[in-house]
Amino acid sequence: MTDVSYLLSARAVRERAHQMLSLGLADQLPHFRVDLAKLDAVADLVLDVTGKAYPNGEVPFHSRWRHFVVGGADRWAAIADKVPWPDAEARARAEFDLAITSVLLDAGAGAAWRYQDAVTGTRIGRSEGLALASLEMFASGAFSADANDPLRADAAKLQQLTIADLERGFQVGPDNPLVGLEGRVALLRRLGEVTAVRPQVFGIKDAPRPGGLFDQLAAGATGGHLQAADILQQVLLQLGPIWPSRLTVDGLALGDCWRHPALVTDDSTTGLVPLHKLSQWLSYSLIEPLQRAGLVVDNIDGLTGLAEYRNGGLFIDGGVLVLRDPAEASRAHEVDSPLVVEWRALTVALLDRVAALIRLRTGQTPEQLPLARILEGGTWAAGRKLAFERRPDGSPPLTIISDGTVF
């Protein structure tokens, strides 16, 4: 009998994803065929893209912090390095506040939206634009309840956010639409509500704020060490209630977890496929603040690849995943549709396969080249490259109907 809480773990994401891949390799999935012969070419592309982006071979982790670097200038560091933080923990709390709010605002922007960057004068779309917009809002004190301390996100202020606040911060207008705006505002307001009612987690050293999760994680460290998978578990347990009400089993909200008829087990978790994309993206993004505060994060590969449309698009555009019905490419799909669940789970498992190929070719171990570096180098960039080669607007190969809280 599998405990339902198992689904709130990176291990469950990985195990169920590989179960889906096994079904695919046995040609038993309803929507996709899997052509592993094309995986070598995908690995070659990822290596090529990584080598061009990081010629010195020093690839950073895939995380939100990369999006705050524009034209070689680290916007967050430029702000944070000038602040007289009372201690390393104070900076870590602010960085948790920034990472959590920014990641929750990071679901797909849509192809039309752009952010006008005041520093470079350029218009920046997608994740990079969303990152800059959220950083500017954070730096201006948009999430702070204390006018004298702008670099924070307070539960009290988050609960008061309006659509107009986000429209202003993200420069949204009739000519610059942002998909899922209402979903994003609702998510940040719920973030405020959840942190407010859990002061024992989020208010250990300060007024309730998302950054209080740093203190919760630090308190759970053993000899200054944390497991990466434990970061995700805390993110899922403590922030789980912010997600829209989706699947709930035995009273436990399962977040980014969906049903697929082919994935059969002999207990109450049968048919359930956990993916936890945004929560894992956030967990990756919390590693660096923890490290800067002096904690050691072990087994970073305890987290999985991210089931999102750039990584997933890499495998469709690269020919590894082939739609049984090509017409599905021209239809729009809900995130809970079996086709999308199948695609996302296969993506997670195939990322592990690509990582193994890349380590084999470069002679590196998982410790030397964790998945977090391969994603950054990497699969995400290669997926975007193929998308722009195949479609002028760089859109993914499948159209997903998003509410701004999954992708």
Which residue has 């969303």 as its token pair? 130
Backbone phi, psi, residue 305, to 5°? -65, 165
How high is the pLDDT of residue 406?
Answer: 64
DSSP string for residues in 7-60:
GSSHHHHHHHHHHHHHHHHTT--SSEEE-GGGHHHHHHHHHHHHHHH-TTS---
Find the mean pLDDT for residues 70-74: 89
Of 117, 173, 167, 165, which Cα lies nearest the Cα of 142?
A: 165
Q: pLDDT category, 148, cuts 50, 70, 90?
A: very high
- Of the listed ranges 108-122, 214-228, 347-361, the least confidently predicted one is 108-122
Out of 177-181, 211-215, 293-297, 380-384, least confident range: 177-181
Model pLDDT, residue 289: 97
Q: Does the pLDDT at position 72 exceed 90?
A: no
Q: Does residue 61 surpass a pLDDT of 80?
A: yes
Q: How far apart are CA 209 and CA 201, in angstroms?
A: 9
Q: What is the mean pLDDT of the chain?
A: 93
What pLDDT score does 1 carry?
47
Cβ neighbours of residue 258 under 8 Å, at least 6 residues apart?
246, 247, 272, 273, 275, 335, 336, 340, 341
Tokens 């809970």 belong to: 336
Separation of alpha carbons 329 and 334, rounded Å: 13
pLDDT of residue 245: 65
Given this model, what pLDDT does residue 42 score? 98
Dihedral sign from CA coordinates of 392, 394, 400, 403: negative
Q: What is the reported pLDDT for 252?
A: 83
Q: Is the pLDDT of residue 403 over 70?
A: no
Mean predicted confidence (pLDDT) in 155-172: 95
In this predicted model, what pLDDT tens digit does every residue of 2-60 receive, in sequence order?
Answer: 688 899 999 999 999 999 999 999 999 999 999 999 999 999 999 999 999 999 989 99
Summarize pLDDT for 116-137 with one digit per residue, the tens.
Answer: 998 889 998 888 899 999 999 9
* Predicted confidence (pLDDT) at residue 112 exceeds the cutoff of 80: yes
pLDDT of residue 297: 96
Extract the tokens encoding 52: 């061009």
pLDDT reading at 90 higher than 70: yes
Q: Classify 116 as helix, strand or coil.
A: strand
Residue 329 has pLDDT above 90, yes or no: yes
What does the CA dihedral 134, 135, 136, 141 come to, rounded to 10 degrees?
A: 90
- Looking at residue 115, its pLDDT comes to 94
Query: Strand 321-323 vs strand 296-298: parallel, antiparallel, or unpaired?
Result: unpaired
| Confidence label for 340 from pLDDT (cuts 50, 70 and 90) | very high
For the residues 262-276, what does the mean pLDDT come to?
A: 93
DSSP class per residue in 327-381 = GGGGSEEETTSHHHHHHHHHHHHHHHHHHHHHHHHHT--TTTS-HHHHIIIIIHH
pLDDT of residue 370: 93
